[in-house]
Each structure stands twice: as structure tokens, then as C-alpha cells.
């Protein structure tokens, strides 16, 4: 019996050692997808369809009251796009599209570089590779020349560089064959082909071609009256408006075929960008000044188009940041991704989970403190949940965002302007009854997250707003010897201002409270009365951020300010008939809608941190 | 008002009642049996990819740990508990292991998958399980026999390993495989540099006439029960090199093949392919050790093979042959294979049960021997016994 037992037991499986049969068993599935750095090559040049921009001009004349008109001019101004300007445009465009999250491939004269997260790999080309000249051509010609260049001159270099850099890039992968036999036992860490192929096939070329540039211009002649001398003089300004669409062509290197294959196109839109000499000069601006305006506007347009392309690139799962939630108390998540993945302050993320085979969104979170992850072991990025909750194993996906909103609000902006009650011509006192209000109205504007746009943690959740108000007053109070009365006319007020708020999220349901202050200037639009006042509005805002693309906010505050003008029929100054101090209750219901095209706001955006470079 | 309140209560109750209630697994056994073998990264360690299900991630993780331990015990194609009888005996201990799976887990990866299905959370992790500890506990509980016990009672074969083809990489493979056999409690005999085939073996090989395998002769000289031949080859793929190591294992006495297998490395990019060789040997080693144990123990059950060479002279040869053959026949229930038979020298392959080595075989044969003269031992090494006997005169094969 013992022998039988021993025989049976002897057949028991003994310890067996074997290599990983399938390396992908070690990898996470799609529910735990993690961004892996892609290698990208850009060019020093971008393609254009034109060597100059012909801007049709209009001529406008305004008097000292701002009244005037514009007429189309019969001529256009031809703005040359010289080579240096095109190179600057390329630099701006690639700065905003080939960001820190990519390993950068640079072709030099005799060497090629790969700048990875933690180092640089260089290979000798053994000869000069001619640089790609983007030139001036239509898009399809540009594309043909690009593909020819990539698949003849570059592909071999590309393959060699990818080979040479594979080990460096492997060491920087977020998910490796950790704790496997090869890593812990073998004399040398060998790169698994599965991982290498993944690296080699995650290499791209980004190229850009600028579509025909939309343009319009104005020469503005404004008549002014000197405050000191009382004499009239004129100023001339040149205004340029451009809109640029950049076709962003993406090619992927296929390591097996050793060829570049077209991955896709993105069209980056700048929106309308305007610029002006705004010199208030008494002479006509010089051509140099005009060219400077054009160039500045053009660069801003390129930057705006690049920002839009960057936004669209993040819509592609292949280029967006994904990360699993490794540990979370439900409200705070730590991540090793940081500045080297172009994570910005207030960067929004979706919290995703897979339920019954479908990916579902369960909330949102935002980066608050961004890791300076130049090297391993850096302090992690702190991401806080604003909506919903997160648990270990959930997934964070970068939410494509520009930090810019279009704002629309319905408001009742109460501004009581007190009439001085006159008991006699000499004796005046403020009359309570004699106040009138600016009433209901609406405002339109833009709101921008300064933390995200300027990428400063000190400005996290600070929102800057610029707005235009239109309000209505059912009537204004007037004084007559018979006493005070209220006119029956409806007066409309137009104003504009700036506001700043700081949001504090309360819990994780998306609600926030924000102390805020606005400063605005308003004036009547009616012909007979001309009231103007300046107010500041301290307020408290209660809001709900449904998604990073949509908020609604209830605002309540108090307007305080002073009257700056009270005129009747353009000449009768009645400022002394009214109290200088104005005030009133302010309430508003606002809606914020995310804007993917940033237009002129592009000027505000600061590039991603280069602290690691 | 009362109606409104009742309605509100009903709505709340409905909402509460309709929410699916997650049921916790109260059983000690895993709630889910989804696991995959990934690799064995040490002699007493396995990496398992296991999935658990629960009402929360924490609970699902605990379940995944149990699943990983279950896989080592009962799952896959080579579980520790192989028979129903073992499983029945191990039940109590198995439940204790499920109650405290952390004891056997050396490493847990980051989460590899998380899904919600039917209101429950499924998570997958990689675990390194201390299989040695599990085996020791099972052996201590006399549910299985430990490797040491097996070795003591039955005797694991002694092994020698030789490089056949593949140059220096094959030598690396030999070292790795020797290390491997040692880790698995085999006694490994290593031919030192400059070692030559024993003169007796060489003479016997010459007498047998047929073309012999020098590695077989060397194994006989070293006295190992089995020997392994290793071939290395490497293939360059698109992204790296893939190494393959072929291992053939023979029973030394009879030359019978015990095991053959090929191990592969993953395709990798390395500057030194020796790392790949080691990886490929690990892959082959797992398979070959299992085969050797199985075949060897089957062989031992039927009788351990010995090669016996008898030296005599032409005068007494026939009588000695007859007497030795008769003695061997009395020891073995299986037919005796005569390999070479002349007038004065004879070789046999004989299978003898419960005979641990050639020296004990000599004693048994000597005891049963009834031929001319006395049996004397010339040499014994492993499974190879050389004896001489003659009534009158000298033996005719001179061993210098």
C-alpha cells in the first residue's frame, strides 16, 4: 500500500519553472489602459498654400463720440509670409502639438536624436539627410511630397533610431515585465518582442499644412478732441482679422513594413483672430508697424489653431492620457503622470469603469498639483474628484479641454441711482424715493480657467471672465419743481467688464461655491439721457459643474460704485442732481459652455512646463 | 397628506427594494475559478493571473487571492493535488489555506483588470505564489510526499548533462540545466574539463562493436543513471532573437530515451543571447523534469535498469555466462537483454526491483552465483557494473 501511495505521490507535479508563455499575460487589459509614450517627429517647417496673404481692406471713419461708418476699399494689402515667419509658425505649431507627452525625434545634419522622457539617444546618420522643405503648394501636392520624403529618405533612419532607442524607451514604460523571471533572475534584462513591437509601432510623424488663410482688414481714422487744448486731431489704426485652418497630418511608422502609413488628419481651427496697431497715433502707422500687427495676429492664429489641434488630438484614445486609479480614498487620486505628459493645473479627467462590457463614465476629476516627474520617484500628481467617486481599478481618461467657456447669463443687476431731492435751488439732499434701478438683462462673455491656461497651481480654479451686459430700466427718476416722478420710457444699458472667481468644490457631486468680484462699466444707449457708471460687484456663486464642458451658476452679490456721467440731450450736465454713489442687488443665472476654439484667447496660454528640460 | 406620505414611502421602498443587492461570498472556497499560469519564476514560486469577484474591489481582491491559491492546488494542467483522494484528504488544510491566502503570496501586481458584471466587481491581478510552502504544508500533513522523502525512499536518478550542438550557448544551456536539476533535488554529476571516457567503458564499447554515443559512454563513465543532451539554436525575428533549447534525456544503462522536449524564450532584444538561453532552458526544464520523474518512477516500478559486464576467459566463459545469467534471471522478473556475448566477455541489461545501486546488485549476483571461480567486482558506477569470474587461468580482457 505504501508503495502504491509513494508511486502516486511521486507522480505529483513538482515545481516547474518556465518562461512567460505569453508576455501579454503580464499586461493590463483595456480597463486598465495606461498611456505609453509615443515617439513623434515634426519638421522645422510647415506647408503653406500661399506666400502672401492678400487682405481686403475697408476704410472707417469715427468721430470723437465713436460714431462713424466703414466703406469697402477697392484695394487689398498684400502681406508677405517670408521664410522666417513660416519657421516661427512651425515652431509655435509643433510646440503645442508635439508636447512633453511625446518622445521627440529630431533629424540633424549628420545625426538623429530621440529625446525620451529620461534621456537622449543619438545615432550617426553616416551622411546628411536632406531636410524636408514644406514649401508652398496645395495640400495634396504637399502630401505627396511628404510621403515621398518619409518613405525614401527618412524611413531607414527612423527604423535605426527606433531600434537604438528601444531599450531607453522600454525602461520608461509605465508597465513592464516587472517581477518576471527575466527581470529578477536573468543576467540581463531583455526586451520582450511584444513590448518592443509595441514601442516600435508607436512612432509617428506630425506634419502641418496651412489651408488658405481667411482675412479682413480695416483702416480706422478716428477724430479726437484734445482735453488740454480743445483742438481736434485724428489717429489712424490698422486692424487685421485672420482665421487659419491648419491641416495636421499624422503618419505612423510601420516597423514590419518599414514604411510610413497615413494615420489620419486633424484640422486645427484658429477662429477669428484680430489685431490692431492700436497706437492712437496721430499719423498713419508705418508699414513696419502694420507688418508687426499682421505677424503678431498671424502667430496668434497659428497658436490658436495648434491649441485646437491639440484638443482634437486628445480626443483620439491613442494620444490621450489614460491611467488606472491605483489607490484612492474616493476623492483624491495620485498619479505618476505629470509635466512630462503635459498634464496642466486643473487638467480634467473622466473617471471610467467597465460595466457589463460597456465603458461608463462615473465622474470627473481634476489635477491640482502636477508632478515634476522628470525622474522616477517624483512626488505624484494629485488629482481630486469633483464629480462622483473613484475606486482602485477605475480608469482616468484625459478630458479634451481648453479651459475656455462661452458664458451666457440671465441677470437682474440692480443699480439704484438716487436723485437729489431739491427743496430749493440751493438746498439739496438725497431722496430715497428718487432711486431708479437698472433692471433685468443678460450678459454674454467668455470665462477662462487661469490655472489651466497659465498652468500655475497658485491660480488653480481661478476663473477670469470678460463680459458684455445688456440691461433694461423701466424708467428713470427725474426731479421737477412739482416733485419727483418716474419716466415711463424703457432705457437700455450696455456695459462690459471683467470678473474673477475662485471655485471651491463642495463634496464630490460637482457643486462648488465661489467668492467672486466683477468690475464693470455701463452706460445708457438712449439718445436723450446719457448715464454712465462704474461698479464693482462682490458676489458669491453657487454652481454645478455637470461636466468640464458645462456649468451652471447662480450668482448673488451687491453692486457698489459711482456715477460718472449724467447728461441730458448731450449738453446738459445733470451729474449734480444725482448721488455719486450707486448700489443695488445683483443676481444672475449663468451657463458656461466649453469652447474648443480659443481664438484670440490663445495669447493667454502658456506652454507646458519645461522644468525637466 | 396621508396619501402623499404613503406614496412617498412606497416610492422609497420600491427604490430601495429594486436596487440589486450584492451578495457576499460566505463560502471559504473561491467565488470564481478564473486563473491562468503565467510563469514559474523560481523553484518554489509560480506567477498566476487570477480573477476574483466581490461586492467591492477589496472583497474581489481577497477572492482573487483565494483563486490563485486554488489554481496552484487544483487548477491548470499540473495541479499539486492531482487525484480525488488527495483532494479529499486535503480538504481541511485547503480551507485553512483559503482562509489565509496571504501567507502564500509573495507579490501582488497592480490591478490588471476591473469590470463590473451583474452588480459585482471582478478584478484581476498577478500573484506570485509560494508553491514550495504549500507543498511543504501538504507534505507535513501527509497529504502528499515531499520531494526529499521521494528521493530517500526511491532514489532519484543521478544525472549528467552534455552539450550537443549550439556552441557556447549550448554550454550556457548545460550549466542552466544542471542548476535546474539540482534545484529539483536531482544529483548532478558534472564531467570536468579533460575528463575522458573510462577505459573499461571504452573497451566495452569496442567489444559491443556498434557505433556508440560518446555522451552515453561518458555518462557510463561518470556513473549517472540518466544523461541529457542539449542543443541550442537561435532565430532572429523582426524585433529580436528567439532562443530554443532542445533537451533529450536517456536512461544510461539501456540507452532508452526517457524524455525529450524543446524550450523557447520569448522573442527579445538582448545584447547577449545567454539571457535568452537561460529563459529557454527554464521553459524546457519545466517539461523535462516532469517527464524524467514520471518515466523514471515508472521504470523503477518495473525494475531499475543496470548494465552488467562480465569478464572471463575462453575456458570458463560459457560456464560463467550461464551462471551469471542464471543469477540475474533470479533477480529480475523481466527478460534480460544480452548486448554483447563472446567467448570470454558478456554484457547484459537487467531490470531489478528494489535495487538502489550496482554494488548491491553485485552482492546479490555474487550470492546467487554458482559458476566457476569467485565473482569479483571490477567496478561499479551508478547503473553500470563490471564483474569478473574465472575458474582457471586469467581473464582475457586486460584492463590497464
ipTM of this predicted structure: 0.79
- Reported as a single tens digit per residue, the pLDDT across B153-191 is 556 788 999 888 878 888 888 888 888 888 777 888 887
The confidence band for A183, taking pLDDT boundaries of 50, 70 and 90, is: low
| A130-139, A405-414, B81-90, range with greatest mean pLDDT | A405-414
Higher pLDDT, B278 or A322: A322
Average per-residue pLDDT in chain A?
85
Q: Mark which residues 12-71 of B lie under 8 Å from A by CB.
A: 36-44, 47, 49, 56-57
Please tell me the pTM assigned to this model. 0.79
For residues A213-217, give the mean pLDDT: 91
Q: Chain B partners of A23 at a C-beta cutoff of 8 Å?
A: 266
Q: Mark which residues 94-153 of B lie under 8 Å from A by CB.
A: 107, 109-118, 121, 123-124, 126, 128, 131-132, 135, 144-145, 147, 150, 153
Angle at alpha carbon of residue A347, lines to A344 and A350, rounded to 5°: 150
For A256-283, b where at least 16 C-beta lie within 10 A, e where not — what string?
Answer: eeebbeeeeebebbbbbbbbbbeeeeee
Q: What is the pLDDT of residue A501?
A: 97
- Whether the CB-CB separation of A380 and A327 falls below 8 Å is answered with no
- Whether the CB-CB separation of B307 and B385 falls below 8 Å is answered with yes
What does the block give as the cell for A125?
A: 546618420
Place of cell 505612423: A252
Q: Mark which residues 373-402 of A lie under 8 Å from B by CB.
A: 391-394
Q: Chain A partners of B147 at a C-beta cutoff of 8 Å?
A: 14
User: How many angstroms separate the Cα of A252 from the Cα of each of A256, B47, B235?
Assistant: 12, 35, 28
Q: What is the pLDDT of residue A568?
A: 78
Beta-carbon contacts of residue A263 (< 8 Å; ≥ 6 apart)? A204, A250, A251, A252
pLDDT higher than threshold 50 for residue A184: yes
Q: Chain B partners of A159 at a C-beta cutoff of 8 Å?
A: none
Instruction: Estimate the crossing angle of helix A155-171 against helix A193-200, to 10 degrees.
Output: 130
Cα separation of B321 and B331, whole Å?
A: 15
Q: What is the pLDDT of residue B17?
A: 47
E strand or H helix that includes residue A398: strand A395-398
Cα separation of A382 and A370, whole Å?
A: 7
Q: What is the CA radius of gyration of chain B?
A: 30
The beta-carbon neighbor of A19 closest among B144, B183, B279 is B279
* Torsion sign (Cα): A273, A278, A283, A288: negative
Q: Chain B partners of A193 at a C-beta cutoff of 8 Å?
A: 237-240, 242, 266-269
For residues A487-513, give the mean pLDDT: 89
Give the number of other CB atoms < 10 A from CB of residue B35: 23
Q: What is the pLDDT of residue A478?
A: 64
- Reported as a single tens digit per residue, the pLDDT across B208-264 is 665 667 788 888 888 888 899 999 888 887 767 888 899 999 988 888 888 888 888
Higher pLDDT, A222 or B298: A222
The beta-carbon neighbor of A12 closest among B80, B117, B126 is B80
The confidence band for A445, taking pLDDT boundaries of 50, 70 and 90, is: very high
Cα separation of B309 and B346, whole Å?
A: 6
Q: What is the pLDDT of residue A520?
A: 95
- Reported as a single tens digit per residue, the pLDDT across A458-476 is 999 999 999 999 988 776 6
Residue B116 to residue A393, Cβ atoms within 8 A: no
Q: Chain A partners of B112 at a C-beta cutoff of 8 Å?
A: 27-29, 32
Beta-carbon contacts of residue A512 (< 8 Å; ≥ 6 apart)? A386, A503, A504, A505, A506, A541, A542, A543, A544, A545
pLDDT higher than threshold 60 for residue B8: no
Residue B42 to residue A12, Cβ atoms within 8 A: no
Beta-carbon contacts of residue B252 (< 8 Å; ≥ 6 apart)? B216, B219, B220, B224, B225, B226, B227, B307, B382, B383, B384
- Reported as a single tens digit per residue, the pLDDT across A337-393 is 999 999 999 999 999 999 999 999 999 999 999 999 888 788 899 999 999 989 989
Q: What is the pLDDT of residue A13?
A: 37
Closest Cα partner for A126 from A114, A105, A152, A108?
Answer: A108
Q: Chain A partners of B279 at a C-beta cutoff of 8 Å?
A: 19, 181-182, 186, 190
E strand or H helix that includes residue A491: strand A491-502
Phi–psi pair at A101, nearest 5 degrees = -75, -5
Interface test with A, best of B116, B173, B277, B301 (most A CBs within 10 A): B116
pLDDT higher than threshold 70 for residue B139: yes
Give A13→chain B minimum CA distance, Å: 6
Residue B269 to residue A196, Cβ atoms within 8 A: yes
Place of cell 572471463: B312
The confidence band for B147, taking pLDDT boundaries of 50, 70 and 90, is: low
- Reported as a single tens digit per residue, the pLDDT across B318-331 is 888 888 888 888 88
Q: Mark which residues 158-187 of A lie under 8 Å from B by CB.
A: 166-167, 178-182, 184-187
Average per-residue pLDDT in chain B?
81
Give the whole-number percent of chain B exceeding pLDDT 70.
Answer: 82
Give the whole-number percent of chain A exceeding pLDDT 90.
Answer: 46
Q: What is the pLDDT of residue B194?
A: 61
| A20-24, A30-34, B119-123, range with greatest mean pLDDT | B119-123
The confidence band for A521, taking pLDDT boundaries of 50, 70 and 90, is: very high
Q: What is the pLDDT of residue B399?
A: 45
Place of cell 474628484: A385
- Whether the CB-CB separation of A381 and A338 falls below 8 Å is answered with yes
Q: What is the pLDDT of residue A422?
A: 61
- Reported as a single tens digit per residue, the pLDDT across A281-318 is 556 777 787 888 899 999 999 999 999 999 999 999 99
Q: What is the pLDDT of residue B341?
A: 64
Q: What is the pLDDT of residue A599?
A: 93
* Distance from chain centroid for Cα A126: 42
The confidence band for B149, taking pLDDT boundaries of 50, 70 and 90, is: low
- Reported as a single tens digit per residue, the pLDDT across A592-608 is 999 999 999 999 999 88
- Whether the CB-CB separation of B53 and B122 falls below 8 Å is answered with yes
Residue B79 to residue A13, Cβ atoms within 8 A: yes
pLDDT higher than threshold 60 for residue B4: no
Amino acid at each position: 500500500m505504501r508503495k502504491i501511495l509513494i508511486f502516486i505521490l511521486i507522480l505529483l507535479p513538482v515545481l516547474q519553472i518556465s518562461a512567460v508563455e505569453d508576455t501579454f499575460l503580464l499586461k493590463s487589459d483595456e480597463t486598465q489602459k495606461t498611456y505609453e509614450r509615443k515617439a513623434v517627429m515634426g519638421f522645422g517647417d510647415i506647408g503653406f498654400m500661399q506666400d502672401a496673404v492678400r487682405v481686403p481692406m475697408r476704410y472707417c471713419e469715427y468721430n470723437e463720440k465713436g460714431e462713424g461708418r466703414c466703406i469697402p476699399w477697392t484695394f487689398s494689402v498684400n502681406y508677405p509670409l517670408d521664410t522666417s515667419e513660416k519657421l516661427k509658425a512651425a515652431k509655435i505649431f509643433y510646440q503645442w502639438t508635439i508636447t512633453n507627452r511625446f518622445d521627440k525625434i529630431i533629424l540633424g545634419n549628420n545625426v538623429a536624436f530621440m529625446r525620451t522622457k529620461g534621456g537622449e539617444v543619438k545615432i550617426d546618420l553616416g551622411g546628411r539627410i536632406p531636410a524636408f522643405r514644406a514649401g508652398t503648394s496645395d495640400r495634396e501636392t504637399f502630401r505627396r511630397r511628404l510621403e515621398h520624403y518619409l518613405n525614401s529618405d527618412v524611413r531607414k533612419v527612423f527604423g535605426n533610431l527606433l531600434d537604438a532607442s528601444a531599450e531607453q524607451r522600454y525602461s520608461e514604460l509605465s508597465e513592464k515585465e516587472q517581477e518576471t523571471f527575466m527581470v529578477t533572475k536573468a543576467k540581463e534584462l531583455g526586451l520582450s518582442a511584444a513590448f518592443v513591437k509595441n514601442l516600435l509601432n508607436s512612432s509617428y510623424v506630425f506634419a502641418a499644412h496651412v489651408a488658405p488663410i481667411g482675412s479682413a482688414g480695416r483702416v480706422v481714422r478716428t477724430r479726437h478732441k484734445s482735453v488740454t487744448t480743445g483742438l481736434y486731431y485724428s489717429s489712424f489704426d490698422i486692424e487685421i482679422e485672420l482665421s487659419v485652418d491648419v491641416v495636421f497630418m499624422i503618419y505612423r511608422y510601420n516597423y514590419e513594413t518599414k514604411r510610413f502609413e497615413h494615420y489620419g488628419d486633424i484640422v486645427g481651427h484658429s477662429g477669428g483672430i484680430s489685431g490692431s496697431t492700436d497706437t492712437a497715433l496721430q499719423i498713419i502707422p508705418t508699414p513696419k508697424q502694420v507688418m508687426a500687427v499682421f505677424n503678431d495676429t498671424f502667430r496668434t492664429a497659428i497658436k490658436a489653431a495648434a491649441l485646437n489641434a491639440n484638443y482634437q488630438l486628445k480626443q483620439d484614445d491613442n494620444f490621450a492620457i489614460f491611467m488606472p486609479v491605483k489607490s484612492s480614498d474616493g476623492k483624491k487620486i495620485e498619479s505618476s503622470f505629470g509635466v512630462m505628459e503635459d498634464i496642466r493645473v486643473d487638467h480634467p479627467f473622466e473617471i471610467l469603469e467597465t460595466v457589463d462590457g460597456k465603458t461608463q463614465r462615473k465622474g470627473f476629476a481634476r489635477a491640482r498639483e502636477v508632478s515634476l516627474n522628470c525622474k522616477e520617484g517624483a512626488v505624484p500628481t494629485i488629482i481630486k474628484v469633483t464629480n462622483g467617486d473613484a475606486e482602485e481599478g477605475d480608469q482616468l481618461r484625459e478630458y479634451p479641454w481648453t479651459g475656455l467657456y462661452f458664458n451666457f447669463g440671465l441677470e437682474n443687476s440692480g443699480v439704484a441711482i438716487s436723485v437729489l431731492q431739491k427743496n430749493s435751488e440751493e438746498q439739496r439732499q438725497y431722496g430715497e424715493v428718487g432711486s431708479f434701478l437698472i433692471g433685468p438683462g443678460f450678459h454674454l462673455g467668455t470665462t477662462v480657467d487661469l490655472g489651466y491656461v497659465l498652468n500655475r497651481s497658485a491660480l488653480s480654479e481661478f476663473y477670469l471672465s470678460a463680459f458684455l451686459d445688456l440691461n433694461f430700466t423701466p424708467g428713470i427718476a427725474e426731479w421737477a419743481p412739482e416733485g419727483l416722478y418716474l419716466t415711463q420710457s424703457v432705457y437700455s444699458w450696455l456695459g462690459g467688464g471683467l470678473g474673477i472667481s475662485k471655485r471651491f468644490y463642495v463634496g464630490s457631486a460637482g457643486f462648488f461655491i465661489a467668492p467672486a468680484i466683477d468690475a464693470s462699466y455701463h452706460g445708457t444707449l438712449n439718445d436723450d439721457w446719457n448715464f454712465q457708471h462704474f461698479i464693482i460687484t462682490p458676489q458669491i456663486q453657487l454652481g454645478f459643474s455637470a461636466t468640464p464642458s458645462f456649468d451652471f451658476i447662480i450668482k448673488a452679490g451687491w453692486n457698489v460704485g459711482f456715477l460718472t456721467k449724467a447728461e441730458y440731450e448731450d449738453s446738459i450736465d445733470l451729474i449734480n442732481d444725482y448721488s455719486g454713489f450707486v448700489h443695488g442687488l445683483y443676481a444672475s443665472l449663468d451657463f458656461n459652455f466649453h469652447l474648443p476654439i480659443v481664438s484670440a484667447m490663445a495669447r493667454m496660454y502658456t506652454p507646458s512646463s519645461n522644468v525637466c528640460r | 397628506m396621508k396619501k402623499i406620505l404613503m406614496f412617498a414611502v412606497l416610492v422609497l421602498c420600491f427604490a430601495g427594494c429594486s436596487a440589486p443587492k450584492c451578495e457576499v461570498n460566505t463560502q471559504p472556497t473561491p467565488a470564481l475559478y478564473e486563473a491562468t499560469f503565467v510563469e514559474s519564476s523560481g523553484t518554489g514560486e509560480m506567477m498566476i493571473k487570477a480573477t476574483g469577484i466581490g461586492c467591492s474591489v477589496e472583497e474581489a481582491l481577497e477572492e482573487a487571492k483565494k483563486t490563485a491559491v486554488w489554481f496552484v492546488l487544483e487548477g491548470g494542467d499540473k495541479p499539486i493535488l492531482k487525484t480525488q483522494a488527495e483532494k479529499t484528504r486535503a480538504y481541511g488544510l485547503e480551507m485553512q489555506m483559503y482562509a489565509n491566502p496571504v501567507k502564500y503570496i509573495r507579490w501582488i501586481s497592480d490591478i490588471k483588470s476591473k469590470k463590473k458584471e451583474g452588480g459585482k466587481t471582478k478584478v484581476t491581478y498577478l500573484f506570485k505564489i509560494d508553491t514550495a510552502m504549500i507543498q511543504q504544508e501538504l507534505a507535513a500533513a501527509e497529504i502528499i510526499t515531499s520531494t526529499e522523502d521521494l528521493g530517500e525512499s526511491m532514489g532519484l536518478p543521478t544525472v549528467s548533462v552534455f552539450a550537443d550542438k549550439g556552441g557556447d550557448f549550448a554550454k550556457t544551456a548545460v550549466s542552466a540545466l544542471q542548476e535546474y536539476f539540482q534545484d529539483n533535488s536531482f544529483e548532478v554529476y558534472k564531467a570536468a574539463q579533460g575528463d575522458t571516457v573510462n577505459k573499461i567503458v571504452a573497451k566495452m564499447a569496442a567489444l559491443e562493436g556498434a557505433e556508440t554515443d560518446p555522451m552515453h559512454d561518458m555518462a557510463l563513465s561518470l556513473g549517472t543513471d540518466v544523461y541529457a543532451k542539449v542543443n541550442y539554436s537561435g532565430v532572429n525575428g523582426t524585433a529580436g532573437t528567439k532562443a530554443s533549447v532542445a533537451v533529450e534525456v536517456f536512461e544510461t544503462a539501456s540507452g532508452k530515451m526517457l524524455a525529450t522536449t524543446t524550450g523557447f524564450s520569448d522573442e527579445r532584444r538582448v545584447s547577449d543571447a545567454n539571457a535568452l538561453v537561460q529563459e529557454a532552458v527554464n521553459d524546457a526544464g519545466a517539461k523535462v523534469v516532469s517527464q524524467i520523474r514520471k518515466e523514471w518512477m515508472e521504470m523503477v516500478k518495473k525494475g531499475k535498469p543496470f548494465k552488467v559486464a562480465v569478464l572471463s576467459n575462453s575456458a570458463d566463459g560459457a560456464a560463467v555466462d550461464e551462471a551469471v545469467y542464471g543469477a540475474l534471471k533470479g533477480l529480475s522478473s523481466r527478460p534480460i537483454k544480452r548486448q554483447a556475448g563472446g567467448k570470454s566477455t558478456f554484457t547484459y541489461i537487467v531490470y531489478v526491483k528494489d535495487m538502489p545501486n550496482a554494488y548491491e546488485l553485485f552482492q546479490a549476483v555474487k550470492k546467487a552465483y554458482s559458476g566457476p571461480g569467485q565473482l569479483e567486482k571490477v567496478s561499479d558506477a551508478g547503473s553500470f557494473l563490471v564483474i569478473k569470474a574465472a575458474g582457471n587461468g586469467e581473464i582475457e580482457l586486460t584492463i590497464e
